[in-house]
Amino acid sequence: MKVILNAGQIDRALGHLTDQIAGSPASRQGGRASSDNGLAIIGIRSRGEILAQRLADRLSQKLSRPVPCGTLDITLYRDDLNAPHGDSQPQVRTTEIGFDINGKIIILVDDVLYTGRSARAAMDALIDLGRPKAIRLAVLVERAGRELPIQADYCGHKAEVGPEQSIQVNLVESDGKDEVLIED
């Protein structure tokens, strides 16, 4: 295993994502955030939700207004749900979005963008919850290997990773330390 991002580099990548989002027209639309308009962050379980909370906190400070944050579980929207990879049942967890997504610009957050399938599942799940004004994708790490025509609007780090390798994101909140690893 090789560390490609340490804690400091992850912090800088999150700062870069914050600056990209705050500088985009999406963050300025609608003026002040209210219940009817504005920017909102939604993280894909599980590490996307942690990154989303960190981004929402940073954006709230940078934009001097609260940026709502929620969590989306995509388990039942995955296209590999019935794939025959074993006997284990998927663990369905809750979606926790305490605000109306209708008319909002949603920044959908995930840890790694690889095939695009998780992002597609998340968009399907969001559309079932309402009609956002727009959905933008923010990822900590982007790598090659897309199977669907999906790309990140905001990217913290682009990784050169072979098709036989995988990326593991560890975060303090769930794993005890911040690091991104390439596994062979």
User: Domains in the chain, start-ordered, CATH in brackets?
Assistant: 2-78+94-183 (3.40.50.2020)
CA dihedral 35, 41, 45, 171 (to 10 degrees): -140
What pLDDT sits at residue 86? 54
Element (H, E) at 10: helix 7-23
Does this model's pTM top 0.85? My answer is yes
Average pLDDT, the chain: 89
CA dihedral 145, 8, 23, 153 (to 10 degrees): 10
pLDDT tens per residue, range 109-150: 999 999 999 999 999 999 999 999 999 999 999 999 899 999
In degrees rounded to 5, what are phi and psi of residue 50? -70, -45
pLDDT tens per residue, range 140-176: 999 998 999 999 999 999 999 998 999 999 999 999 9
